[in-house]
């Protein structure tokens, strides 16, 4: 059973970019493993490191946001439009989670990434553009001070904008099914397996015979 | 089985497929359970899912609806000898092992059907109209060319389909892409899809299933249709569809896994009911006129940054929005392009012809029509990587390999190769690659690589000239006609 996710709190790293694609999140050359663990080391690899020729170890790029000490421990990442576009590789949320992120706050997300993130209990939080812009500014000027609270059940994000006295609370959308999965730690495979009767019934009554591929003789299959 | 919904309202193709696959309906707080007819598997995104099934002590519910191949990380040279990359070799060995344990048919390196998963499926007749098809790969949208609802899934969902042959889904919105007119000579399905993405943007299709319609789409061959649907994800849409018609049925008839005899007749009558009803309503409609299109080339670091070949690289100073300006500046800097520079004459270092977008026989024929009797320009490295063993064999039977080799192209074994640069086929840092693949993201073809996406004919022309050219100007009408008759 996955761990329930109900409340998250912490600082955030501002990644002020749109269309952060999965090839940036984890370049394809790191997809040759057969386990989910340990991919944090490859996260944003070509942004975190500067190549040093083919034979030397690369250098850390001090300008990249995650290499700045102020953001090193942040559990949240803030980004622009269309975060996670590109491939369906679940290595992207695995790498983000393994690195230590618990939620991504962005203006919008790519569909497949959003799905993959939720399945790994990495919370995709879509917030209105002005809120994200405020967060970028605040996080860049006062990285340590900004503590963001995310309440899953209430579907809200709370933080203290630098230029105001009070707190700002913003609602975010979350599909009710996903919300239950997060709050209760539902295992989706188990959930669907519990509907085995309905699946059996579909296969008996509705799966057309022409849809079942013939078993080919080995000569053709090879 | 009834194909009408309870209210008899007109339905789109997408809605019809959706309805036919409902194991249980969507409720307020529960997604629909959708039956999956075909699950295609490759080496990169499956190992953790097989491991998950093993940990749960489960078997695959329908190994007979599951088919595997290897494509992403395999070498395209010396496939049978020792691999330089031990990790890739281990991943492929794991797939062989998993397929054996779980009884999944595998078209491996010893099979005449091995190929890029989205080239292989249709070739084998596994891709059927009205079916649901998933694969742990975002270009699964390719199969939508047959009127199949096909989309990419993550590894958790792969495990879910292994265990249940179903997915939990919420319905998507529908977008009609109506393309009137005819593609002019020298303009292909690749140019059309690049134009569509440039129009709606890389996030424009998010939340939608696209249906490509209209005269110009109907006129495309199955291969052209696959090129079109393939890049739906590049507009943010998980799936793209084209209604099946005689072109589709003709392509499928007689393929190894296509239905036969009485089942073929049953299938046909079912498939003929699939096209969207005349008065079906789409959530959004976009119109394009094919007559006005020209060959397209990308200049930036995502696929919407594309222009007609007669255009010049845009100038960030003319972009009002500061975020977009910054994005453009950064992209041009990465690409090493100058604002205002005409796209023609841009030199290229590498040319890659292949991938699930443009690695099929017609694509290779179109490229060969350009490369015939020509030489790859001095200093340019040009690769042709067939999409599958079948493509390779047919191309060799037609002598295309000789055309390419005589011109100085490398003729490789099938695989994803330089589309994703996992197997050592890489563009070096700073090099510019004219590529028929689908993604021009930073580093996609190797760290520091600079990708210009275009059609096979345009890429072949770039190879022989060593720079981008407008094939409509640099090649005779008869060559262009030869390109067009090959589809590409
Ligand atoms: S050819 Fe490229 S896009 Fe297609 S499946 Fe292979 S890696 Fe993915």
Cα B267–chain centre separation:
25
pLDDT at A2: 82
**Residues B144-154 as b or e (16 or more Cβ within 10 Å = b):** bbbbbbbbbbb
A/B interface, count of CB pairs below 8 Å: 208
- B433 φ, ψ to 5°? -120, 120
Q: Which of A85, A173, A177 to mutate to test the interface with B (most CBs of B within 10 A)?
A: A85
Residues contacting B222, CB < 8 A, separation 6+: B122, B145, B146, B247, B248, B251
**Residues B407-446 as b or e (16 or more Cβ within 10 Å = b):** bbbbbbbbbbbbbbbbbbbbbeeebbbbbbbbbbbbbbbb
Return d(Cα B378, Cα B466) in angstroms, integer.
Answer: 7
**What residue in B sits closest to A198 (Cα-Cα)?**
B23
**What mean pLDDT, rounded, does chain A reach?**
93
Query: For residue range B260-299, what is the model confidence (pLDDT) as tens digits?
Result: 999 999 999 999 999 999 999 999 999 999 999 999 999 9
Taking the alpha carbons at both ends of chain B, their separation in whole angstroms is 40
Residues contacting B349, CB < 8 A, separation 6+: B379, B380, B381, B427, B428, B431, B432, B433
Residue labelled with tokens 């203006």: A107
ipTM over 0.90: yes
| pLDDT for residue A54 is more than 80 | no
Gap from A163 CA to chain B (nearest CA, Å): 22
Query: For residue range B46-83, what is the model confidence (pLDDT) as tens digits?
Result: 999 999 999 999 999 999 999 999 999 999 987 666 67
**What mean pLDDT, rounded, does chain B reach?**
95
Could you give the C-alpha distances from A103 to A99, A135, B194, B332, in angstroms and in order?
A: 12, 14, 33, 31
What the block records as the tokens of A194 is: 């519990």
B25-29, B246-250, B474-478: least confident range: B25-29
Query: For residue range B291-327, what is the model confidence (pLDDT) as tens digits?
Result: 999 999 999 999 999 999 999 999 999 999 888 899 9
Confidence of residue A121 (pLDDT cuts 50, 70, 90): very high
CA of B412 to the centre of ligand 1 (A): 16
| Yes or no, beta carbons of A199 and B165 under 8 Å apart | yes
| Yes or no, beta carbons of B44 and A111 under 8 Å apart | no
Higher local confidence (pLDDT), A56 or B360: B360
pLDDT at B28: 82
pLDDT at A221: 60
CA of B416 to the centre of ligand 1 (A): 5
Query: Per-residue pLDDT averaged across A175-199, rounded?
Result: 95
pLDDT at B84: 74
pTM comes to 0.95
Residues 145-204 of B with CB under 8 A from A: 152-157, 159-160, 163-166, 168, 170, 202-203
pLDDT at B2: 41
pLDDT at B83: 75
**Nearest protein CA to atom 6 of ligand 1, as residue:** B416
| Yes or no, beta carbons of A210 and B267 under 8 Å apart | yes
| pLDDT for residue B36 is more than 90 | yes
**Nearest protein CA to atom 4 of ligand 1, as residue:** B356
Return d(Cα B351, Cα B380) in angstroms, integer.
Answer: 7
Q: Which of A34, A88, A195 sits opposite B153 (nearest CB)?
A: A88
B32 close to B26: Cβ distance less than 8 angstroms: yes
pLDDT at B3: 46
B11-25, B80-94, B109-123, B207-221: least confident range: B80-94
Confidence of residue B24 (pLDDT cuts 50, 70, 90): very high
| Yes or no, beta carbons of A222 and B111 under 8 Å apart | yes
């Amino acid at each position: 059973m996955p761990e329930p996710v109900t409340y998250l709190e912490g600082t955030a790293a501002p990644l002020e970019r749109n269309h952060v694609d999965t090839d940036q999140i984890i370049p394809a050359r790191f997809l040759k493993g057969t386990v989910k663990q340990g991919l944090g080391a490859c996260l944003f690899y070509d942004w975190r490191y500067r190549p040093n020729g083919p034979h030397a170890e690369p250098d850390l790029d001090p300008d990249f946001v995650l290499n700045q000490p102020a953001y090193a421990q942040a559990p949240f990442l803030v980004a622009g439009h269309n975060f996670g576009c590109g491939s369906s590789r679940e290595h992207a949320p695995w790498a983000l989670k393994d690195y230590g992120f618990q939620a991504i706050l962005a203006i919008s997300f790519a569909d497949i990434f959003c799905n993959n993130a939720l399945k790994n209990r990495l919370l995709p939080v879509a917030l209105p553009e002005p809120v994200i812009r405020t967060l970028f500014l605040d996080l860049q000027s006062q990285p340590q001070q900004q503590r963001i609270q995310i309440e899953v059940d209430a579907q809200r994000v709370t933080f203290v904008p630098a230029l105001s006295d009070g707190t700002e609370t913003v609602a975010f959308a979350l599909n009710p099914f996903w919300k239950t999965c997060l709050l209760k730690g539902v295992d989706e495979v188990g959930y669907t397996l519990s509907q085995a009767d309905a699946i059996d019934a579909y296969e008996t009554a509705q799966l057309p015979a022409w849809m079942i591929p013939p078993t080919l003789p080995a000569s053709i299959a090879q | 089985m009834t194909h009408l919904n309870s209210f008899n309202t007109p339905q789109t193709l997408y809605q019809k497929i959706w309805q036919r696959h409902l194991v249980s309906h969507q409720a307020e707080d529960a997604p629909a359970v959708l039956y999956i007819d075909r699950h295609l598997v490759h080496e990169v995104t499956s190992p953790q899912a097989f491991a998950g099934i093993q940990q749960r002590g489960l078997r695959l519910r329908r190994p007979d609806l599951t088919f595997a191949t290897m494509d992403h990380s395999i070498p395209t040279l010396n496939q049978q000898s020792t691999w330089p990359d031990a990790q890739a070799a281990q991943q492929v060995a794991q797939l062989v092992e998993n397929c054996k344990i779980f009884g999944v048919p595998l078209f491996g390196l010893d099979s005449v059907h091995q190929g890029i998963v989205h080239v292989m499926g249709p070739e084998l007749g596994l891709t059927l109209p009205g079916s649901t098809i998933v694969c742990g790969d975002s270009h699964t949208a390719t199969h939508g060319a047959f009127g199949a609802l096909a989309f990419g899934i993550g590894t958790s969902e792969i495990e879910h389909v292994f265990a249940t042959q179903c997915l939990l889904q919420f319905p998507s919105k529908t977008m009609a892409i109506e393309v009137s007119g005819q593609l002019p000579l020298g303009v292909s399905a690749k140019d059309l899809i690049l134009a569509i993405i440039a129009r709606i943007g890389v996030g424009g299709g998010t939340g939608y299933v696209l249906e490509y319609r209209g005269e110009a789409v109907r006129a495309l061959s199955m291969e052209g249709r696959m090129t079109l649907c393939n890049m739906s994800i590049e507009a943010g849409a998980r799936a793209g569809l084209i209604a099946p018609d005689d072109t589709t049925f003709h392509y499928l008839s007689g393929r190894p896994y296509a239905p036969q005899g009485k089942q073929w007749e049953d299938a046909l009558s079912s498939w003929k009911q699939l096209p969207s009803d005349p008065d079906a309503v789409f959530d959004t409609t976009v119109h394009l006129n094919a007559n006005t299109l020209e060959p397209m080339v990308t200049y930036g670091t995502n696929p919407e940054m594309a222009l007609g070949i007669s255009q010049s690289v845009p100038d960030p100073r003319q972009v009002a929005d500061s975020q977009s300006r910054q994005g453009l500046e950064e992209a041009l800097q990465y690409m090493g392009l100058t604002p205002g520079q005409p796209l023609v004459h841009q030199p290229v270092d590498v040319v890659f012809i292949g991938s699930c977008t443009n690695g099929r026989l017609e694509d290779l024929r179109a490229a060969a029509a350009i490369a015939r009797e020509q030489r790859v320009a001095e200093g340019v490295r040009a690769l042709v990587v067939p999409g599958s063993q079948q493509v390779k064999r047919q191309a060799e039977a037609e002598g295309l390999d000789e055309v390419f080799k005589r011109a100085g192209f490398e003729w490789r074994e099938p695989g994803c190769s330089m589309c994703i640069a996992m197997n050592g086929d890489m563009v070096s840092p700073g090099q510019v690659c004219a590529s028929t693949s689908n993604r021009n993201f930073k580093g996609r073809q190797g760290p520091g690589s600079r990708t210009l996406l275009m059609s096979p004919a345009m890429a072949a022309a770039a190879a022989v000239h060593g720079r981008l050219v407008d094939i409509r100007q640099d090649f005779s009408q008869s060559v262009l006609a030869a390109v067009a008759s090959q589809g590409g």
